[in-house]
Structure 1
Amino acid sequence: GAPYPLTTDGTDDNFYGRTSDTTFDPVSALRSGEPVTPYALWSPDSTRILAFRVDQREVLPLYLVQDAPEDGTLRPKEYTFRYSMPGEEHVALYEPVTIEVDSRQIIRVRYEPWPETSMMDAGEWNLRWWNANGSTVYSLYVERGEKTLRFLEEDPVSGQVREILSESGESYRESNLDYGGFPNIYVYEKNGDIIWFSERDGYGHLYRYDRNGTLKNQITSGAWVVRTLLYVDEENDWIYFLAGGREPGRDPYYRHLYRVRPDGTGLILLTPEDADHEVSMAPDGTRFVDSYSRVDTIPRTVLRDAAGDLLLELEEGDISYLTSRGWKPPERITVKARDGSTDLYGLLIHPTTFDPRTGYPVVDAVYPGPQIIVTTKAFPSDYGYNSKIFWRAQALSELGFIVVNLDGLGTPYRSKAFHDVSYGNMGDAGGLADHVGGITDLARTRPYMDLDHVGMYGHSGGGFMTARALLLYPDFYTAGVASAGNHDNRLYGSYWGEKYGTPET
């Protein structure tokens, strides 16, 4: 049939269907002409849609000037959009609504609007979701500054809301250690119990609450972190999740699949290989596809049953073309942080013409986070951020450099204290002192690293880190390329600076 509008009351600065100008990049969207993926979610039976009405009317404007318009005219072209900066009075507000598709009725959820936070910057819908039969909506309300999370239950017919539980802290609270990741939350259909993610004991773990928000037990514990709540098998009483750092002697960033009982018993490792595991569960939870690799091993993909037993070897990667061109995997490295005890992990990347008898200048290729790491863990065979970083570093090494990737203090996927080193201290994100000390230690046993010629390269946050390195450590870093650095985070998006504690917010 013919298309028809579901809403008719939207305006330029009070609209449905996308995030605010601060996270959306409206000028780029306008100039590219590419279609916008709706910021909304269908119900299981396709009769309703979850959405937000975004109000940015009070957000201050920002301006861009295009000096050389594509039409060849000499007069610069001005673009205006709304952009909130850390500490400003107003940010975009997201009013939750449920839309009845057939009647086009808009049901306004009876709760205060969501302030814009980093969760809106993920590019994916992640704050409200349906239960299995579409009778209930669950949502995660993140307060401005992200120090408080509230878990809500919504009635999609009446718009009534029940607040089930909340958690607050001195620094940001996260429901998933992946930036903007889908919340590690699950509500049991059979009894209403809730699985909740928290770093309250210093590491990211799972907790079980009853339907009224009363804690029943901690499900996982220890000096390691849960990464992704992958699947809950209610019938057989198993919780499946990806985690890192539990297996002794392994890189703590490698993800492994585990399962555990809701009461915390029966924890077992299902993917034993010393590698990073990308796992996809079957819809019925009876088996899973496991693609595992390291930066120095080829990818292998297998099918396993729910107990982790091998059912079928599916595929093995082929890097013969790479090796025929002289490529060799990077060296995985471990150095100590500035405290002298914490292990830091990274890569040493050599040119294909590497000769250990020759001296090489060193380039520290950086990105300080604090929302992601820079070092590739799996084999860099996709189009993901870390793969792009790796191959750019490899290309740089071919010009005659030894290239270092290292994740210092203040970055994610370790303990809460490890990550919080950069909270309110963005200048120390990525750990410049850790980089200087780590590279110095590496060179003691690798005489081909020429520490009289050390440079740094980084883009965006890496550009900021590069400029800072040249100013703070001019006797160590003799050159640097700071690409598109955000050198003053007080001018960056409010959702970013306020989460990570930019001063004056």
Structure 2
Amino acid sequence: MFPARRRLPLSGVLAGLFLLAPPAAVAAPTAEEIARSVHLRADWQYLTREIAWPATWKPDGKSFTYRKTVEGGFAFETADAATLAKAPAFDHARLAAALTSVMGRPVRPLDLPFAEFRYEGAGDAILFWTGEDGWRCTLVDYACAPQESRRRPRGFGVVRDLSVPADNTPRVSPDGRREALVEDDNLIVRAKGGGEAVRLSTDGSPGDFYDPETISWSPDGRHLMIYRVRPGYAREVLRVEAAPDGQIQPTLRRQLYPKPGDAVDIEQPVLFDVDTGRQTVVDNALFPNPYELSEPHWRPDGASVSFGYVARGFQSAKVIAVDAATGKAHAAVSETARTFVYADRRFAQEIGKSGEEMVWASERDGWNHLYLVDTRTGRVKNRITTGDWVVREVLKVDEAKRQIWFTASGMEAARGEDPYFRHAYRVDFDGRNLTPLTPGNGDHAVSLSPDAQFLVDTWSRVDMPTLGVLRRASDGSEVGTVTRGDISRLTAAGFGAPEVFKAKGRDGKTDIWGLVVRPRDYDPAKKYPVIENIYAGPHDSFVPKQFWPFGYHSGGDKVIGMQALADLGFIVVQIDGMGTANRSKAFHDVAWKNLQDSGFPDRILWHKAMAARDPAYDIGRVGIYGASAGGQSTLNALLFHGDFYKSGVAYAGCYDNRMDKISWNEQWLGWPVDQSYAAASGVDNAAKLKGDLFLIVGEQDSNVDPASTMQVADALIKADKDFDLLVVPGGEHSVGRSTGPIDYVTRRQFEFFVRTLQGK
């Protein structure tokens, strides 16, 4: 028999039903609400005042210049270091007019096409970049012109474009007596200005030529070094521009584009005694398999010359020194790694007239630190920095004072600070007198004056607008406030700072840091789908640490882009998992031959910790989006973690690392090309796709071969997998995210997530 049912009073039944009822659903956004989110950045970006960018010092060190937000846009301001008196850095209207004329498009005075620049000469001209283009503008007559390098282009720095002549301008010796150049692929020397040429080499040929752009004279003009070059493989990527402006027929575009495994230019250093004509081919036993050699650098006494060497596969780096009298080479310093030597953080500066010492950056103890090396033996004389923190940048090495100014992150973590926050420090060569220079719990961008007397400390957090402070570089004492950001109007418009959240990673002890952006009408009684903004490239970390929340960058949306998406009924997050940079070597090494990992074990644990903290966080509906390496990670989320991630928008992804540029991929996956490339491939693993996928690519992407996206599409079709695809005609790597049809592409992304995660 069944037991008798116990009757509940009606009030108890209703209470039980209430407790069992699911959280209220998020209302579907209207077309008007989607349009408002698409335009949120444009509506909000001019609401701040006095938000400043890092400063640039004038060459004389008496004043510095910075960009800041003003009514209607951005202006450049110069401050006097002695008085802090301020004035416009230049005539913005005249500069805008000059740029409008040469760029062929309107340029507004309060929206100049650059955020930072450097002064040239005495400060009467500035140099800046817009995208891949360099520009020079004078500040006297306001004449602007593009800066086209005379040097022969190189594909990702390792394969010369032989269709472009090398710059064979005669290189004049320091004593002014002679000049060197290349004739018929061989090195010649003659009297300055012309005269009878003396042929120093005869072994050059089109397939093994002397490169005039590598000529380097010794200080006394007696010796010179030059590289003889055996060309690598000139791979070209071909792209059809289907709808070029101003014409009906398509256009074929070509780009020199070396890929992983391709043969690179092999550079052989050759030393010449100009007086005797003696030629010494430097023995390459110490640098047998070069990915690249840096240009020759003569020590001040002229007795020796040095150059940097990175081995193919990035597991070894050295500085090679060559004796000018004998041509004998030795390793002034050597660095090896079981995984990779982090190429972006290599630092070497020789000290002394004979270069007998060197300040060298190394991760040999598991953290990036500075060492003083005896270059005659290659041995470490002493450590300069030490601890469970990382040196981020060397600002200045003062040889006379034997002091170093540098930035580091993680030193203040024991006091509760975010370990990614940068601070500036000064230390002696022997490691003593380590002096903090930038107090304040935040991320500090530092600009040191040329004479190292002052520094401009521009610092902030995602919840604190920028503060610009002039400090003494000796002890960090404050001279005065330069700028103080005002976000009152932005806050009044509805902006709220994201939540900073950390949770333990896969090892159960390492903190994984991220940001959480909620809808402005967030209701904790509702349940919100979650979307992760991902960029997991091993070359850096990507969760914002400074205040500026606008714009797009290579790591994906900044905070306002995430807010625009959140306002449609999502919780949007960004996380730095293991495999990214700026933590320990072990944290970084997770990426080695393992790009498919993308920190997902840490990211998923972080999501679960956040869901345990916030019941509105619907961990059953998680989407993801990212661009470039973030696009690859987005696809891999659906291939390898499709039980967790349900929907993804992948922009311009390097989905198969064998299809991408040589430099980035050999750094993290090594050389020769092996199974690790296939393991991370979205093409080889396409049949594993789960969930909803939207691929977006620019037809003219010059950063990642757009054929990579089409190969994924081909593999998905063969695997009978459904997906969405948008090809932007004429679109570059930005895919409409910073140029071109930004509103259209953004709307398509937003609508995709509304449809796939909200079912509306």
The TM-score, its normalising length taken from structure 1, stands at: 0.79
Give the whole-Å Cα distance in 2 for the aligned partners of 1:297 and 1:76.
Answer: 49
Give the whole-Å Cα distance in 2 for the aligned partners of 1:416 and 1:402.
Answer: 32
1:265 is aligned to 2:265: no
1:206 matched residue in structure 2: 370
Give the whole-Å Cα distance in 2 for the aligned partners of 1:311 and 1:134.
Answer: 42
Equivalent position to 1:409, from 578, 590, 596: 578
- Cα pair 1:59 1:84 within 8 Å, conserved: no
Give the whole-Å Cα distance in 2 for the aligned partners of 1:381 and 1:136.
Answer: 49
The amino acid of 1:404's aligned partner reads: V
2:151 matched residue in structure 1: 17
2:247 matched residue in structure 1: 72
Q: 1:437 to 1:294 in 2, by over 3 A?
A: same
Equivalent position to 2:595, from 383, 408, 426: 426
- Cα pair 2:578 2:591 within 8 Å, conserved: yes
Give the whole-Å Cα distance in 1 for the aligned partners of 2:476 and 2:304.
Answer: 33
The amino acid of 1:273's aligned partner reads: G
- Cα pair 1:56 1:93 within 8 Å, conserved: yes
Q: Deviations over 1:42-80 (max 9, x none)?
A: 99x998976797968441533423151525344663636
Q: 1:241 to 1:424 in 2, by over 3 A?
A: same
- Cα pair 1:194 1:211 within 8 Å, conserved: yes
Give the whole-Å Cα distance in 1 for the aligned partners of 2:606 and 2:591.
Answer: 18
Equivalent position to 1:295, from 462, 474, 493: 462
2:644 matched residue in structure 1: 476
What are the equivalent positions in structure 2 for 1:155-194 lying under 5 Å apart?
A: 163-174=331-342, 180=344, 183-189=346-352, 192-194=356-358
Please list every run of 5 or more consecutive structure 2 residues that lacks an aligned counterpart in the other structure.
1-148, 180-212, 216-225, 272-278, 677-760
1:217 is aligned to 2:217: no
1:457 matched residue in structure 2: 625
2:653 matched residue in structure 1: 485
Number of paired residues?
A: 461
Equivalent position to 2:528, from 330, 347, 360: 360
Q: Deviations over 1:320-370 (max 9, x none)?
A: 232121101111111111111111111111233333333221101101111
Give the whole-Å Cα distance in 1 for the aligned partners of 2:484 and 2:288.
Answer: 46
Structure 1 residue 165 displacement after superposition: 1.8
Give the whole-Å Cα distance in 2 for the aligned partners of 1:381 and 1:332.
Answer: 14
1:251 matched residue in structure 2: 418
Structure 1 residue 444 displacement after superposition: 0.9
The amino acid of 2:393's aligned partner reads: T
Give the whole-Å Cα distance in 2 for the aligned partners of 1:193 and 1:186.
Answer: 8
| Corresponding residue SS for 2:668 | coil
2:265 matched residue in structure 1: 92
Give the whole-Å Cα distance in 2 for the aligned partners of 1:158 and 1:349.
Answer: 64
Q: 1:171 to 1:442 in 2, by over 3 A?
A: same
Give the whole-Å Cα distance in 1 for the aligned partners of 2:486 and 2:454.
Answer: 25
Structure 1 residue 158 displacement after superposition: 11
- Cα pair 2:528 2:616 within 8 Å, conserved: yes
2:562 matched residue in structure 1: 393
Q: 1:154 to 1:280 in 2, by over 3 A?
A: farther
- Cα pair 2:456 2:468 within 8 Å, conserved: yes
1:195 is aligned to 2:362: no
- Cα pair 1:408 1:432 within 8 Å, conserved: yes
Q: 1:139 to 1:476 in 2, by over 3 A?
A: same
| Corresponding residue SS for 2:573 | strand
Structure 1 residue 21 displacement after superposition: 2.5
- Cα pair 2:550 2:559 within 8 Å, conserved: no
1:237 matched residue in structure 2: 402
Give the whole-Å Cα distance in 2 for the aligned partners of 1:192 and 1:26.
Answer: 33
Q: Deviations over 1:272-320 (max 9, x none)?
A: 2111111111111122111111111111111111211111111111222
1:447 matched residue in structure 2: 615
Q: 1:404 to 1:132 in 2, by over 3 A?
A: farther
Q: 1:161 to 1:344 in 2, by over 3 A?
A: same
Q: Which moved more, 1:394-403 or 1:56-65?
A: 56-65
Give the whole-Å Cα distance in 2 for the aligned partners of 1:97 and 1:329.
Answer: 58
What are the equivalent positions in structure 2 for 1:271-350 lying under 5 Å apart?
A: 271-305=438-472, 306-350=474-518
Query: Which of the two has higher C-alpha Rg?
Result: 2
2:730 matched residue in structure 1: none
Give the whole-Å Cα distance in 1 for the aligned partners of 2:250 and 2:242.
Answer: 8
Give the whole-Å Cα distance in 2 for the aligned partners of 1:481 and 1:445.
Answer: 27
- Cα pair 2:437 2:475 within 8 Å, conserved: yes
Q: 1:358 to 1:130 in 2, by over 3 A?
A: farther
Structure 1 residue 455 displacement after superposition: 0.3
- Cα pair 2:393 2:407 within 8 Å, conserved: yes
- Cα pair 2:534 2:556 within 8 Å, conserved: no
Structure 1 residue 93 displacement after superposition: 3.7
Structure 1 residue 141 displacement after superposition: 1.3
Give the whole-Å Cα distance in 1 for the aligned partners of 2:558 and 2:597.
Answer: 21
Q: Deviations over 1:361-380 (max 9, x none)?
A: 11011011111222011112
- Cα pair 1:295 1:378 within 8 Å, conserved: yes
Q: Which moved more, 1:457-466 or 1:137-146?
A: 137-146
The amino acid of 1:208's aligned partner reads: L
The amino acid of 2:646's aligned partner reads: T
The amino acid of 2:311's aligned partner reads: E
Q: Deviations over 1:65-111 (max 9, x none)?
A: 3151525344663636452323x4x123456799xxxxxxxx99957
Q: 1:219 to 1:59 in 2, by over 3 A?
A: same
Q: 1:110 to 1:436 in 2, by over 3 A?
A: same
The TM-score, its normalising length taken from structure 2, stands at: 0.54
- Cα pair 1:381 1:387 within 8 Å, conserved: no
Q: 1:93 to 1:18 in 2, by over 3 A?
A: farther
The amino acid of 1:210's aligned partner reads: D
| Corresponding residue SS for 1:488 | coil
The amino acid of 2:151's aligned partner reads: G
2:669 matched residue in structure 1: 501
| Corresponding residue SS for 1:277 | strand
Give the whole-Å Cα distance in 2 for the aligned partners of 1:16 and 1:55.
Answer: 19
The amino acid of 1:281's aligned partner reads: L
Give the whole-Å Cα distance in 2 for the aligned partners of 1:262 and 1:395.
Answer: 49
**Could you tell me the percent identity over the aligned residues?**
35
| Corresponding residue SS for 2:596 | helix
Give the whole-Å Cα distance in 2 for the aligned partners of 1:215 and 1:134.
Answer: 24
Give the whole-Å Cα distance in 2 for the aligned partners of 1:316 and 1:97.
Answer: 55
Q: Deviations over 1:115-164 (max 9, x none)?
A: 785x89xxxxx866677899986532111111111113478999986641
Give the whole-Å Cα distance in 1 for the aligned partners of 2:463 and 2:159.
Answer: 37
Give the whole-Å Cα distance in 2 for the aligned partners of 1:235 and 1:312.
Answer: 28
| Corresponding residue SS for 2:610 | helix
| Corresponding residue SS for 2:645 | coil
Q: 1:180 to 1:155 in 2, by over 3 A?
A: farther
- Cα pair 2:631 2:654 within 8 Å, conserved: yes
Q: 1:469 to 1:307 in 2, by over 3 A?
A: same
Structure 1 residue 201 displacement after superposition: 0.8
- Cα pair 2:549 2:559 within 8 Å, conserved: no
- Cα pair 2:406 2:425 within 8 Å, conserved: yes
- Cα pair 1:63 1:80 within 8 Å, conserved: yes
Structure 1 residue 485 displacement after superposition: 1.7
